Structures are given as C-alpha cells and as structure tokens.
A and B are shown apart, each in its own frame.
Chain A
Amino acid sequence: MGTHLHLVRCGRLRQIARMQLIVNGNSHDLDADPQMPLLWALRDLLGLTGTKYGCGIAQCGACTVHMDGMAVRACQIRLADVAGEITTIEGLGTPDDPHPVQAAWIEQQVAQCGYCQSGQIMQAASLLALNADPSDADIDRAMSGNLCRCATYPRIRAAIRSASVRIGAA
C-alpha cells in the first residue's frame, strides 16, 4: 500500500499534498508537506505520540516504527517516501491486550524513564519477527542503534529472551 500524492496547492514556497497513510490498520487522508518526516506526521498530525523524537538523525532509535513489518526510523522517512503500512507502538498492542514483546517488557519492568522504550519494543518486535530465537550477538546487532540513556539494556536483553519464549509458545 503506497502513499497517494495529490498536489492540492503549489506556490513558490508552499507545497501541500494530499496523502493517504495507513497507520495501525486505519487509513488517514493527510494534507501535508511531502517532505515532512513520518515521525512528525504521526506525532503532530495524527496524535500518535507513542513514537518519540530523540535525535532526528537516526542515532537514537526512539522513533522506530514498522513499515510493512520492518523496523525503520520514522525521523528519516519523508511522507513522500512512505511505501507501506505503518505500525506504531499503539498498533502493536494495548495495555489491555499487549503484544508478547510488550508483555515481556512489562514483566521484566524494563522501563525507567521509559522514553526510548517504544522504539526499543518496535525494534525488538521486528527482530523477533525475523528471528524468533536470537543469539546474544543477534540481539546486540539488532538493538545497538536504540539508545537508552537510563541504560536499561540488561533488562531489555532479558525481556527479548522472555518474549522469544512467549512467541515460541504461542
């Protein structure tokens, strides 16, 4: 499912396009600048604030979402380049019906300040979708782009292991 661009206004400096975005299974028609990063469309236009801004240059991973199931940095994807269905932390699961990765995060009490954890969870869910039983090295490789300033990493490792078991048992 791609993004549909319909230029509705084009001035010397103003360019607003109508775009259709599929987020968490819902279709949204957006009138926005195609250059706007997906991160800010999610947060400011759609009100999906679970996806966080941390650096804006793909160094922290706080804005990690899924595009057709693959973890991507929403700060680096312009609306014009969105080429798939987007899943955010809100679409992964809910407090009443958490995804197995979220359930593992809750069980291990991973979060301290919690600000990075949406991105950590989306990255981990993507890893486990590709590799249901990752090795230590697999986890290190997949997760090292996600910065946690509180350094919750040991519990992230434990939660990924726990989620791996949960997913295997499901």
Chain B
Amino acid sequence: MSRAGRIARRGFLIGSVAVAGGVAFGAWRYTRPLADPFAGTDAGALNPYVLIDADGVTLVAPRADKGQGARWLQAALIAEELDIDPATARIVPGPVSATYYNRALIADFMPFAPTDTGWLAETARDAADIPARLLGWQMTGGSSSTADGFDKLRQAGAVARETLKQAAALRHGLDRADLDTADGAVILPDGTRIPYPDLARDAAALEPVTQIVLRDRSQWRWLGKPMARTDVIAKSTGTQVYGIDLSLPDMLHATVRMAPWGGSVARLDPVAAEGLPGVLRVLPITGGVAVLARDTWSAMRAVQALDVAFAAPDTTGDQDAIWAALAATHDAGDIDSRKRDDGDVDAVIGAGDVTAEYRVPFLAHAPLEPMNATVLVTDDACTIWAGTQVPDFAVARAAALTGLPETAIRLENQMIGGSFGRRLEIDFIAQAVEIAMAVPGRPVKLTWSREEDFAHDQPRPAQIARVRGRATDQGVQALDLTVASPSVIASWFGRVSSAPPGPDASITTGAWDQPFAIPNFRVTGLRAPESVPVSSWRSVGASSNGFFFGTAMDEMFAAAGIDPMEGLIGLCSHDPSRAVLEGLRDLSGWTGRDAGQGRGRGVAFCLSFGVPCAQVVEVEQTPQGIRITQAFAVADVGIVLDPVNALAQLSGGMLFGLGHAMNCELTYRGHRPDQTNFHAYEGMRMRQTPQVTVRLLENGPLRGLGEPGVPPAAAALGNAIFAATGQRLRDLPFARGVRFA
C-alpha cells in the first residue's frame, strides 16, 4: 500500500506508506518525464523522514553528521511541524534498511531551492556548483544540508501531523480542523490525548493530507531557539557511539600499512608480524598490506613490525618539484577558467603598482576520529558500518569489489568524529571491504593509525597565486588575480566516480565571486598537474582564495593609505555583505589597523557557499612572539535555526582557519608527507585561542554555516600581523615567517 501526495514543490513529493505495524512519511521519487509520476510507486520508492510504529516516533536525518550538527537540525525541522519534542524521538542517521533505501529517489532530489536569478543567487549557485552536481547523490557537503532540508523536512513533518489528525478525526467522527497536536499526540476537543503511535495503523490506510501550510517562524517552538541536543549529552558522557566504537559478535580487528601515493608493495615477508601475539593474518591488499588481529593494538603493533618494502614512485611527489610545477603552470599561463573579467586590468595596472605572489600549503583534514569502517561480507550480502558523506559511492564501490548487486549492500551511516571533507573519500571503506572479503562471515573493523591518516590523506592542494593590483587615494582601481592549483574536483571524482570534463571553477571560488565593485577585476584559474591526490578541505576553493583575495585587498588599501574596513565597505556591491562588514565594524569597535598598545588589527571578508562572512583579528607582539588576542566574526545565514550551534560553527570555523594559518602544512617527500602526527601538525590549541566574539545576521537567503567561517581567517590574521609589525606575510603557514607565542 502506498500513497503519494499531490503537492510537488521543488522536485519532490511528500507522501506516506504503510510499514510493518505503522506508517512512514517521506519524499517520493519525482520522475519528471513521466506523465503520471505516481505510476508504479511502492514502498521502495519512498525515502522516509518519519516512521511511526508501536515503538514510537523515529525521525530520519539523511545527511551525515560530522560535527556540524546536521543530524539534530534535520530532526528538529521535522519535529517542529510534527509537534514532537525532538529530544523524545529516536533520531537515526539515514535509511537503515534496504527496503527504504532508494538511490533513484535520492538521485532525483533537487539539492538547492530555486531562488531568484539575482546576483547573489547566481553567485551562490555557482559557488555551490560542486555540491550541486554531487548532491544528486546522497552526499553531505557544501554546507548544504540546512538549505536542502528546510522545506522538505518541515513538509514531511506537517504532512505526517495532518494525516495523523485525519486518522483521529475519522476514528472519533470529528472534523480534522477541530483537532490539535502537541508533544507527540493528537489532542481532541475534549482534551483527550492520542499518542501518534496509536494512530499509525489508521494513518497508513489514508490518503496523506498534503494540503498543508508551513508554520511562520513566529510560531516555532524549537527552531530558532537554544535547543537541548541529545547528542550533546551523549558526547559529554562517553555514550555517543562513533563508527570507531562499534563492536560486533565475533569481530576481528584490522589495520593497514599502505604504499606511498603512486607506489606499490615491492617485497613482503609476513613471518615476523604473523608471529606476534594476537595476530591472525597478514593480508596483502590493493596498494598495501593489512593485518588482521584479535584487537586493534595487536594489529597496529604488527603492521609496524612488518618486513615490507615499497616500490618508489616517481619524483613528482617531492615538495620542491610540486612548487616548481605550480610556478611552471603560472609561467605557461594556460587558462582553465576566467570567471570574472571586468574592465581592462592590463590597461590600468602599470609599473609601481602592487605585485605579489602568495603560497598556501597542502593541508591535512586530520579529523580526530581516525578513519575506520566495519564490514561483514557473506555469500550474498555485504554490510558496511561507517561514517561517510557519500554513502552511495561507498555502496557502489563495495558492489564492484564484492561482485554483489548494489541491492545486496547495506550501509549504516555512523556519527562521525570530525571530517572537514575527509569523509568524502571512500578509500578506507574500500579497504575494509577488501579485508572482510578475506574472512567471509566474520565482521572486521578496520582502524587506521594516525600515522596512516597523515600519510594517506588526500590533502587540500598547495597553490600559488599571483596578484597585480592598482589602488589610488580614490580607491582600488584594478585587481588581477591568477591562481594555479591542481583540480580537487578532477582528483576526487576520478577516485570515487569518474572525472568530469570542463574547467574546475573551484580553483577560483572565493575570489572571482566576491561582491566588490572593483572597476577592473580579473580572476583566472590555471590547472596545475596533480602530484599527490587532492581533495575538498573545509570550504574547498575558498579556503585558499579567501586568503589570496583578502590579503591582496589589504595590500592595496595599505599602498593607497586607505583604511581596510572603510575600503571594503565602500567597495561592497551587495547589501547583505555590506551589512555584515558594517556589523563587524561595530562589533569589533574598529578604529583602524593600529589598535594601540603594540596591537594590530586585520580585517578580511569572504562570501562562500552563499554566506557573507567577515572577520577581524587582533594580534600583539610579545617577547615570546605574536599572540592573537581577539577575534571577531559576523556572518549572514538568512535564518538562524539552531542558534547555539550556528555560533559554534562560526567560531569554530574561524579558529580552525586561524590554527591552520599559524602552523599547519604538509610537505611531501616521495609522495609521503613529512608530518606523521599531531606533534608536527598542531592547529589551534587552547593556549593560543583568543577571545572570540561572533554574531549572526539574517538578511540574506537561508544557508548553512559548516564552512563559511574558515575562508577569511588566514587573511585577517596576516593583515593583523602586517598592522602590528609592518611585515607582510604572503606564504602560509605564517609560522614560516614569524614566531607565535
């Protein structure tokens, strides 16, 4: 029995289906080319968001949670319309049963709300070009979960609520309009409470009520207010289960030692490792070696004791060669993209104007939870327990490896202990499948060591940007920014699917799309060769372009004697962005670069993922070195749905950006980074954390905030160091040029 709703908004339909002992509400596949979109639908075509049965109410949060708070917010969006305290519902991370898992349905989801064709919408869409293409699959990324789910999840909650009311109305001979709902129950006019589970079977037999009106935000009970997130309680008491914590009966533990990128195993003698206590088996796998053991530590000890030699790859994976290749890419000048070319920079820029070269290093994602996946392979099925942002890529890879049909692969997504883009990769899942295939019938948990994580991260690429610019006392007249970078999109697509043709817009995202009316403004992307595999790192192209653009603007303002805050505000061509800058000016009490008492201040702005974000960083010179004393951030996300978490994401994004800007880099030798663990890749620590002040505005379109806090941070810090010391730092990390206290 299945029912699809009649409303069709933004490419999806909300409907219901009977399930064992209850009812499920969710989105239906929308098959546009068909005259009758409901023909042939069945339970398998529904992607449920609400499941109600005798056990209670389950809310399904299909986007992965890796610390950005997506799981709770998705549940809260449903719960707000369903009239149930999200803390009292079971929240599950996505389709957990093949019955409900429908890739075709997911592939038809429209990831972004259609918006107007105004300047910001076009810019935001273009900035989101990468996730827009990928979110056709069930991908989590691009700070998109909030915008994606905002209408869809609330509609699912509202359809469920009204259908439950209809069931109660029919049962009691009442009019649905006279009924109310509260705290997970339908309330009859006489005050009788009927808990939703008591109505589930009745509701399953009804045509779903899809004539619904979403509530105005003034009526919201949970959204927009501080919420008591249940995952915060679990994470504060050691009871949150992450993928790495899974334990299954009869489970074996495994770890791997892989050849450097591009290399292979030349020689392997397993005897010494196999003789160690707890070790069950040494297993060659694609590109490396795995050890199966009774516990994680025995596996990790054995993998270090392995007598193994790796064939040396070529020399393109040496840092000097990588910088040389980037410089050569600039010198060759073959254009990959030129998404902005206003005025005539060549005619305006001349001798004596600003010229500069900026460098950013490879950066590791290094989420604190090391990569892990648990897999059970049997004759006719494969089950994967892993935290992933791309579950259907993982399923497709597992199918290819095992030879099983995709319908025989089940993936249970797990709570993720940080990602920053790392869980867009499926390498660790593929390894776990390969290992589990060697011991059919027994679950295997693969856990990487931190050393393996650094050695085989696919980092944010090292890049070189060259800038020319002209500013006069009349303001910035011209900016010509050229960025050379390997393509993260080609690299990543090539690993998980197949590389798309065409230019990689992400090489200049966060630069060309900035809302400033520079009369002569050109941004050019050059595609450099891929030396080591590279990937999306929190805020992707904007992570480096925010630094290039923000530093270049500051250099020009300084050259022309213009206050950088006034300069940015004066040039800004987009109202919400200007409001963000003005808000930051007021929040930080900006009075100029010189903050007195030997302190300097820097400001930077970046519009990324549709979110304008501006930051002020203040530093002081101390006998021990540069110390960051204060940091301010303002951003506009349209609607603040989870205010505590939104401020946390903005603060955390800025500090993440500052920490990496201070001291983080990967330098490669033989396709392997010199940095092997956190002693050589510290990021932000408590003792270096400044006082942080953050504020959110609500003038623009609804957007997510997992990434936009990162891009301005490095430029704001570098500009502050310039203000305090007169030293212009053009290479990241800044610890190459100054000492930090």
Which residues on A are within 8 Å of B, measured CB to CB? 12-16, 33, 36-37, 39-40, 43-45, 47-57, 59-60, 62, 88-90, 92-95, 98, 102, 105-106, 109-118, 121, 139-141, 143-144, 146-157
A154 to B645: give the CA distance in the assembly, Å: 13
Contact B241 A49 (CB under 8 A): yes
Chain A residue numbers with a CB within 8 Å of B277 are 13-16, 33
Known contacts A44-B297, A106-B232, A113-B417; is-contact A118 B677 (Cβ 8 Å): no
The SS class assigned to the A binding surface is loop
Q: Does B679 contact A (CB under 8 A)?
A: yes
Contact A47 B247 (CB under 8 A): yes
Contact B238 A144 (CB under 8 A): no
Contact A53 B677 (CB under 8 A): no
The smallest C-beta distance from A48 to any residue of chain B, in angstroms, reads 8
Contact B240 A114 (CB under 8 A): yes
Q: Does B413 contact A (CB under 8 A)?
A: no
Most B C-beta atoms less than 10 A away, residue of A14, A55, A56: A55
Chain B residue numbers with a CB within 8 Å of A150 are 67, 418, 652, 656
A37 to B295: give the CA distance in the assembly, Å: 12
Q: Whose C-beta in chain B lies nearest to the C-beta of A44?
A: B295
Contact B278 A54 (CB under 8 A): no
Chain A residue numbers with a CB within 8 Å of B368 are 52, 54, 60, 62, 113, 115-116, 147-149
Contact A140 B236 (CB under 8 A): no
Q: Whose C-beta in chain A lies nearest to the C-beta of B689?
A: A153
The residue that A149 contacts in the complex, of B68, B275, B418, with Cβ under 8 A, is B418
Contact A141 B678 (CB under 8 A): no
The residue that A117 contacts in the complex, of B236, B656, B659, with Cβ under 8 A, is B236
The residue that B253 contacts in the complex, of A36, A44, A90, A111, with Cβ under 8 A, is A44
Contact B692 A106 (CB under 8 A): no
Q: Does B603 contact A (CB under 8 A)?
A: no
Q: Does B416 contact A (CB under 8 A)?
A: yes
The residue that B238 contacts in the complex, of A36, A89, A110, A155, with Cβ under 8 A, is A89
Chain B residue numbers with a CB within 8 Å of A44 are 253, 295-297
Contact A151 B655 (CB under 8 A): yes
A48 to B245: give the CA distance in the assembly, Å: 9
Chain B residue numbers with a CB within 8 Å of A47 are 247
Contact B683 A93 (CB under 8 A): no
Q: Whose C-beta in chain A lies nearest to the C-beta of B451?
A: A56
Contact A109 B237 (CB under 8 A): no
Contact B229 A109 (CB under 8 A): yes
A153 to B66: give the CA distance in the assembly, Å: 18
Contact B237 A114 (CB under 8 A): no
Contact A110 B236 (CB under 8 A): yes
Q: Kindly list 12 other residue pairs between chains A and B, CB separation below 8 angstroms, not including A39-B297, A112-B69, A112-B648.
A: A45-B295, A52-B368, A54-B450, A55-B450, A92-B237, A95-B239, A114-B415, A115-B418, A147-B682, A150-B656, A151-B656, A154-B692
Q: Does B184 contact A (CB under 8 A)?
A: no
Contact A50 B237 (CB under 8 A): yes
A144 to B370: give the CA distance in the assembly, Å: 21
In the assembled complex, 13 residue pairs joining A and B whose CB atoms fall closer than 8 Å, in A order, are A33-B278, A52-B244, A56-B449, A57-B678, A106-B233, A113-B367, A113-B417, A118-B238, A141-B687, A147-B682, A149-B683, A151-B652, A153-B686
